Amino acid sequence: MEPRRFYAQTWQRVSLFVEPELLESIFSDCCVVILNHHRGKYFVEDHSAPYRMTAFYRHYVETLITTSRREWSDWKELYGPELTSSSSLLADGTPDRSVPAIVIQTEELYYNAYRKQLMTKVANTGELKFGIILSFPNTITYDFESILETAATPNGELFALLKKTIMSRTKPCKFRSPSGIHRSSIRISDGIHARLKSHPMLAAHQLEVI
């Protein structure tokens, strides 16, 4: 039997750029279950032990910080996994695809010199990669019927816990550009902040982390 299909209506997001060890700690402390898929079939990849997921993230971070060339292979593995609560799994321990999971994407920045604006969550491959976004539907609908809130669902509660934990262990990231200081919604850790100060990766985009 095919799972009941849901459609996201509105989204909530949290962006972060932290050390791989901190990301693994956040996921472990929140008891996150990592899902992945192969040929359309989803399976549990890490059950409250996100080692493989953070290995992908570690490669992504080191590529961003140490090299100037970006290839799809450097971050493609971050587009497969999703996050879920163990309470959202079916009785046999397999993923329940009829409920929304938390989606992972790479965060991107773009400084628009003409408008003097710093933009995030842009969708062009030429933009500056900068950490990841965790996204979860705030409201959904099944077959476009009534709109349902997700806050009280296991994954809604997991997203709220993840966001609270991330907020407590990070700080807002601010940037300097030729037009001034820009505040962003991205949360950054002290370790990553120290590595990005006056970094050529940002200077090439007329940006500096402050």
DSSP letter at 147 equals E
Strand partners, 84: 33
* Cα–Cα distance for residue pair 97/20, rounded to 1 Å: 28
Mean pLDDT of the chain: 90
* Cα–Cα distance for residue pair 82/150, rounded to 1 Å: 17
Amino acid at 2: E
Amino acid at 89: L
Q: Which helix (H) or strand (E) holds 191?
A: helix 190-196
Q: Torsion over CA of 159, 162, 165 and 167, rounded to 10 degrees?
A: -70
Which is nearest to 26 in space by CA: 161, 194, 146, 122? 161
Determine contact, residues 201/66, Cβ cutoff 8 Å.
no
Q: Using pLDDT thresholds of 50, 70 and 90, give the confidence band for residue 126.
A: low
Which is nearest to 17 in space by CA: 72, 93, 78? 78
* Cα–Cα distance for residue pair 160/156, rounded to 1 Å: 6
Q: Tens of pLDDT along 144-193?
A: 788 999 999 999 999 999 999 999 999 999 999 999 999 999 999 999 99
Write phi, then psi, for 5 (nearest 5 degrees).
-95, 130
Residue carrying structure tokens 């990005």: 196
Distance in angstroms between the alpha carbons of the first and the last residue of the chain: 53
Q: Tens of pLDDT along 67-113?
A: 767 777 788 888 889 999 999 999 999 999 999 999 999 998 888 88
Q: What is the pLDDT of residue 125?
A: 53
Is 10 a residue whose pLDDT tops 90?
Answer: yes
Q: Which one is predicted more confidently, 10 or 145?
A: 10
